Structure formats: structure tokens, C-alpha cells
Amino acid sequence: MSLYPSYPPNLTAEQLSYLITSFTDYSLSHGLIVRPAPTFIPTNPSNSLATPAPVTLWPSPFPRVHFEEARSLQTFCNLLYARVASDQSWLGDLSTSLSLVDDFISKLWAIHTRLKSENGYHHKYSLGLFRSDYMVHTSESEFAPLGIRQVEFNTIASSFGALASKVSELHRYLWRSGAYPPTAEYINDLSLPRNEALERLAEGLAKAHEVYIQDVSPDAKYTLENAASVGPNSSYGIMFVIQDGERNAFDQRWLEYHLTQKYGIRVFRVTFEEIRKYTHHVRPNYELLFVPPHAFDGKKQQVYEISVVYFRAGYGPGDYPGQEEWNTRYFLEESRAIKCPTVLTQLAGSKKVQQVLAEKKNLEKFMGNERGEDGVVERIFDTFAAIYPMDESEAGLKARKLAFEEPHRFVLKPQREGGGNNIYKDKIPEFLRELDEEKWQGYILMELIRPPEVENLVMRNGEMMQGKVVGELGVYGAVIWKDAEDGEPGDIDIMYNEEAGVLLRTKGSNSEEGGVAAGFGCVDSCVLVD
């Protein structure tokens, strides 16, 4: 039995052609776009060519109860990961043992230890723009949904929020305009949820900007409300750390436009290399100053104090080709600016932390006092799939056996972000055999989630593909915190904690990875099924 109604509706050739025209023009005119891959458009003069982002033609059915549950857990997940990031000794134990086998983790952790032993931290507050990713899990014997299972928790560069909001609006428009035929009566105002990921993520950044200015300059009585009415004439700004040649630039630009247009905040997009050239600290408080080369008229040079450093780069080894880049990351970490995320928050998002938290006693360590809140610990715990360490602990030895005896049930994950790093099913034994056994403990072994298949059509570079797909729901969260004074490790004061919209990513049901940027998947929206 299928979980979903027969979907999507059949169209006549005329209906399909009308739908695709409406779809494409809406995407292009609303900035639901990406820069084309050089393999698709080899020359792109002045970077002026864009193409619609890969998106499903129809919203994909998703069970309403699971959608609501995932969203309602988000502020608690925010709290959990903020607490983990603040517990230096707990995170330190994990990071130091991983450092032995994972060079990237080792270098991140070294930034923290060096800072502690040299000048210390100068920031007071941290910003998390998180995304918790889930799939609906079905049982082996029948296609009954059992609940949501967390795929991973992202603490750095959680992308696609802006495009996800726009896909929700696109699908809503296709319904309202009549481009979807009337036979699709289950697509309507009640089944298409609003998705304010763009607005809410921008609000998180803007709030952190406000928190920063109120801290460094309380006399200025800066608030977002009065700033928005004055316009962007302040000497404070937000820095987006980006990759050179980013194809998903518009997803980031939309956040910038929102910050500038709605809140009057200036945004600077800079690469690690540009940071080296155009920024410096002011001692003794390590304010981060940016001297933008475009803001010089021959006489006067504008200088901006950076309130928030928002990383859309720096999440993987590829962003650090040499020591220079690591020095730049250290330099940013040392500054007074609010980091989104700090090195510690980035480490809290490692797959290892996810695996350790999946042991109930560890989850309880951080969330035990939330027990009274509608059984939150149990509800979060219920979203965890089985995840095993690959070390020499009892659970690790069991996992090592399972990895060879029943690999088809598992995915093996290294401590990496950004897609394309995992090892699936029957490839696991061979992979492990070729890897030094000491390095196994740098991986986690995770049970495969079995999402229900639905049928949909995907538009990518103007071409239509139809087939069975599965979806992964991401829920964004925005949280601002600081360490509590005289508190225990992990005790924090929360200044802001919100659920911040959703992302549905859809991929072919027989493709293992679902990364949109990596070319396997596309952005979708939910049509909720009761």
C-alpha cells in the first residue's frame, strides 16, 4: 500500500507545456536561480548568465504530523547544540580523540586550543543558523510511516533557505494561477504551508547584529527598528565568508538583500583571500575592521566594524588549501565579531557528536532538565536512527562486525560536510579493508533510513526528468547565546531562539546522496498529507 495518493496528476501535452512555461518564467523572474555549471554554459561573460535552480515541478507529499513534529522540536535542537558547543571539556574529549585520525578536525580543534593558550576569546555571543535534516522512515515489511529520523544536524553553512522559501511561493503561484489543473484538488491553501526560511534566517543574522552593537556601544541605543528607518548609514556591517566562484550565490544574495532592504544592514561578501587583504583587528578588544576597496573615492576610505561573520565557506578541507587559510580562520575566531558559527559550534555539528548524542545518557546530560517540556528528551530521542561508533568500545566492535556482515543496512560517514563523502551499503567492507584500521574510529556507522517513494518531475537546466523520488526535510533554526557567567560548562544564556522555516530536498529514489549543489538533487516544497 502506498503512503500517498496517486501523484502527480496526469496532464495533457497542452497542460504540461503551459505549466513548464509558467514554472520557468516564475523561477527566472523571482531569482530562483543558480549560476550554471561551466560544463553546461562554458563561457559566462561578467558572470551574467544564470539558470533556474533545479526544482520539482510539483510539491511532494509529506505527512503533516511528521512535518509539525520536526518543526516543533527545532528550538530544543537549537538549545541542545548551543549547549554542546559551550561545553569545552566534553567537546574537547571527543575532538582530541578524533584529532588523532582526522586532520581537519585536528586543525579546527587546534584553533580553539591555541586561542585559549594565547590571547583568549574576545567574542561574547554566538550565532547558530542550524538545519536539522530528517527523512520519514518506513518499516521494512510495509510502507507505513514510523516517524521522522534525523539524517544529520548542520551547524555551518546550512544552505538553500532562501531558495526553499521561493520554491514554496512558486508552487503556491502555480496553484493560484491555475497552471496546476483543477483535478489536483489536494493542492490548496491548507496543504501548502508557508515557508519563511529566508525571512527568519535573515532575522537571525539581523538580531545578532543588534546584539553586537548593543554590546559594544550601549549608549548608541541601537535597535533594528530605528536602524531600518534611518537606512544603511552605519559603520557596522555583516561579513559573509564565501567561496570563490560560488554557484549557489543567489541563495546567499537573498539573505543579503533582506538584511539591507528590511533592516538597513550592509553586507560584505568576501573570500578568505580578501579577508587577509582588507581586514584587521583593533586591540585590545579585537574589533574586526573591514576596509572595502570599493568604498574609496580617492580621498575618503570607509571602514566598517564587522558585527557578524557568517560562514558560507570553511566547512571542509577544500576551503583550506594551505596554512594561510587556517591563519585567516584563526584571525576571525580571535576577533570580537559574533561568529556564525564559532569553531566550537562547527565541531558540535560533526557526525561524531551526532553519534554520541544518540546514546540516551548523553542526550540527557544536555537536555535532562527539559524533561518536563512535553517529553522533549524522548521526542528528540525518537528521531534518532541507530548510529554506532567505529572505535574499539563495545558498541564499536559490534559496529565493525555489522559493517562486514550486513553492510546493505548501513551508511558509513566520515567527519565531513557538503555531500559526496559517505560510503554506502556494499561498498563499506571494501572501503574499510583498504583503510588503516586505526583510522576506522574517525567514521560512524549509521542505519539507513527508508523514506517512502513518491513520483514527481524535476526540472534541471530546462530538461524534465520524471521518476520515483524521496524527500529530506530540513528544519532551520536560529539561536543566539552566550556562556552563563559563573556557570558550569554548557550553561548558557539564550538571547534568541527560533524555528526558522524549512527545506525539502528531493532526489531520485535510487540515488544515494541528495545534495542539490553536488548535482544529485533538487529543491522542493511540501504538500501536506493528513
Q: Is residue 369 flagged as an active site residue? A: no
Return the number of the residue (339 or 413) whose C-beta is nearest ligand ADP. Answer: 413
Which residue in 376, 387, 327, 415 sits closest to 114, CA to CA?
Answer: 327
State the minimum distance, in angstroms, from the CB of residue 349 to ligand ADP. 9
- The 150-189 site mask, x for binding Mg ion (CB under 5 A), equals --x-------------------------------------
State the minimum distance, in angstroms, from the CB of residue 470 to Mg ion. 14
Q: What ranges make up the beta strands (E) of 230-352?
A: 236-241, 266-270, 279-282, 287-290, 304-311, 338-340
Q: Which of 60, 92, 152, 264 is catalytic?
A: 152
Q: Which residue of the chain is nearest ligand ADP when measured via CB?
A: 514
State the minimum distance, in angstroms, from the CB of residue 154 to ligand ADP. 7
Reported as type and span, the H/E element at residue 129 is: strand 125-138
Reported as type and span, the H/E element at residue 522 is: strand 521-524
Residue 12: CA atoms inside 13 Å, Cβ hemisphere, count?
6
Contact between 523 and 507 (Cβ < 8 Å): no
Q: Which of 203, 256, 417, 498 is catalytic?
A: 417
Q: Is residue 413 flagged as an active site residue? A: yes
Give SS3 for 493: strand
Q: Is residue 351 flagged as an active site residue? A: yes
The interface partner of residue 413, options being Mg ion, ligand ADP, none and the CB cut-off 5 to 8 Å by kind, is ligand ADP
379 is in an annotated binding site: no
Q: Which of 78, 99, 159, 191 is catalytic?
A: 159
116 is in an annotated binding site: no
Q: Is residue 92 flagged as an active site residue? A: no
446 is in an annotated binding site: yes
The interface partner of residue 417, options being ligand ADP, Mg ion, none and the CB cut-off 5 to 8 Å by kind, is ligand ADP
The interface partner of residue 422, options being ligand ADP, Mg ion, none and the CB cut-off 5 to 8 Å by kind, is ligand ADP
Return the number of the residue (259 or 526) whose C-beta is nearest ligand ADP. Answer: 526
Integer Cα distance of 29 and 25 in angstroms = 6
Residue 449, C-alpha cell as written in the block = 533510513
Other Cβ atoms less than 10 A from the Cβ of 219: the count is: 5
- Integer CA distances (angstroms), 391 to 60, 120, 288, 350, 437, in order: 39, 33, 41, 16, 9
CA angle in degrees (0–180, nearest 5) for 493-495-498: 115
Integer Cα distance of 428 and 404 in angstroms = 7
Q: Which residue of the chain is nearest Mg ion when measured via CB?
A: 152
State the minimum distance, in angstroms, from the CB of residue 439 to Mg ion. 22
Q: Is residue 71 flagged as an active site residue? A: no
**Residues interacting with ligand ADP, by CB under 6 A?**
133, 151-152, 385, 411, 413, 417-419, 421-422, 446, 448-449, 472, 513-514
Residues interacting with Mg ion, by CB under 5 A? 152
Q: Which active-site residues does the annotation give?
A: 131, 152, 154, 159, 351, 413, 417-418, 505
